[in-house]
Structure 1
């Protein structure tokens, strides 16, 4: 295997070197692609110093040296990456020594185009710990609940399996064949300033043949600190609903253009419309409407005269 590790860099000076150092020991990692996104701290200077640390470390910026967000930054990384396999690492996170253990075996099967695993948590500040635990309780491992591959991964991510699969795996735990991304012309949605990773993962699960790897223990660690965006938004607040609406709108438009299974299209459509209604009617009405929609999906079709469900 030969792997390009893509690290988007924005205001991560405190953590960046640890992230890079965690990827260097792997023989399979042939290059580490740093994409600096106009940080306001000294991240760029640290990137420049890291380039001299190891010839595998490469530094790029956007052509205009501007700030374009995580989606565009990862896309630039995909453009610059030259290896057969792609993996991702956030600049405030790090890999564990078992990061590619599953990949070494699973990718011997040429049918497999992507492998994903579990991510753990490291608390880097007391404020970060409190915010994270307030939102996610005592969840210390982000993972899926049972092994899966192929179509079952997409169904699991959309909540369409008979058992609860888990609705997310972290981008830091994904390794994908570059040819699979080229084949499907898949990139991150640059219009999403947040949730580009969730959008990308669901689309990836449809376009590519994914298989779970190590899901019972962490293969990477998410650094939780004072400035994590994931902990700042209160669930079902207007800001949360707005961001979820944009995510599911992106997925709805994509699903409308692709021959997804009918139950997958339906789930995406109903979730998109539930957040659409939440923004139009407010939280209390949204919550009641959402419950009614889940019980009876025909409500949307009848009340708003949508025809999407019959496509």
Structure 2
């Protein structure tokens, strides 16, 4: 396979985990270069990045002019300016690639592939691990946010250049905005079912203040409305997609205390909420039965020993 990959690692206040990300990148096959883009950190991230550049031949360090902070999307674009690989692996500094991640995804690409959607594992500080799985129906996955995450996916560099990369004005939803713009051009992904990326969930990534939440909710909703408008214009907004749009957007609006707007089919929203409650009840019933059976098995083993 005669392909090369550039790994771009945006780094902001990442001194505690940047080296872990870099080492996971170095362990991958087909890597041509690893570009750390330092985004005006307030800790020692920049100094650590320079040390890693000295230590590893594949690593280079870039910054914005005067080391100003520009946010994730603009920082990823800065890395794209220096990238020369055929494919781009974006790796957030607090995430981690598992062995064989890039090779697994390169094996399934086709000559006209523009990006790969992958699954990932959420790793919590208390040791919990949950699976973050994609929906293989492309528009459904994009609407509900089940379409991979940047570190789990892989992008063709020329395809990214053709749409101008990430939208540097966005501070949230930039990865789904990027995939939407690729798909608008008819570029559909291929899917890698393996779980080969670790997303480390930290306290800081769970809560970033009211201002951040307002930006997040606005960008999230506006993107879904753009997707809906595009699908309607193309005659592709089916009842199936309307159901998932109404359910996910409606519950999202309610979670932020926002009014349900005219784009949401209220009947579909009610059905969606009933379906979610039923699924939760079934899951809890199964979990409790499994827990009880496990406790009985352990007790029987203890008595027999």
TM-score by structure 1 length? Answer: 0.71
Which of the residues 220, 223, 233 maps onto 1:247?
Answer: 220
Using the alignment, how far apart are the partners of 2:248 and 2:211 within structure 1?
A: 15
Aligned to 1:134: none
Given the superposition, is the C-alpha separation of residues 255 and 118 from structure 1 closer, same or farther in structure 2, using an over 3 Å criterion? Answer: same
1:64 to 51, 57, 66: 66
User: Which blocks of at least 5 consecutive residues in structure 1 are unaligned?
Assistant: 130-137, 160-165, 298-311
Quote how far apart the aligned CAs of 1:221 are: 0.5
Partner of 1:84 in structure 2?
86
Distance in 2 between residues matched to 1:102 and 1:74, nearest whole Å:
23
Q: Deviations over 1:17-41 (max 9, x none)?
A: 0100111122301100111000001
> What pairs up with 1:154-303 in 2 under 5 angstroms?
154-158=139-143, 167-183=146-162, 185-207=163-185, 208-213=187-192, 215=193, 217-228=194-205, 231-232=206-207, 240=213, 242-250=215-223, 252=225, 260-263=234-237, 283=257, 286=259, 293-295=265-267
Larger of the two Rg values belongs to structure: 2
Aligned residue among 143, 146, 149 for 2:133: 143
Distance 1:180 1:4 in 2: 14
CA distance in 1, matches of 2:115, 2:31: 16
Decide whether aligned partners of structure 1 residues 25 and 239 sit closer, same or farther in structure 2, where only a CA change above 3 A counts.
Answer: closer
CA RMSD of aligned residues (A): 3.6
Q: Tell me if structure 1 keeps the 8 A contact 2:29–2:100.
A: no
The DSSP-based 3-state class of the residue aligned with 1:111 is: coil
1:278/1:290 Cα in 2 relative to 1: closer, same or farther (>3 Å)? farther
How many residue pairs match? The answer is 262
2:17 aligned to which of 15, 18, 35 = 15
* 1:49-107 deviation digits (Å, cap 9, x = unpaired): 01112221111101232000001101111122111111110101111002023323212
Contact 1:35-1:61 at 8 Å conserved across structures: yes
Secondary structure of the 2:65 match is coil
Aligned residue in 1 for 2:47: 45
The verdict on how the C-alpha distance between 1:12 and 1:272 changes in structure 2, with shifts beyond 3 A counting, is same
Contact 2:121 2:130 in 1 (8 A): yes
Q: Could you list the per-position Cα deviations for residues 149-193 of structure 1 after superposition, in whole angstroms to 9, with x for gaps in the alignment?
A: xxx42343225xxxxxx623111111111121223x242222222
| TM-score, length basis structure 2 | 0.73
Q: Sort the Cα spacing of 1:115 and 1:239 in 2 relative to 1 into closer, same or farther, 3 A.
A: closer
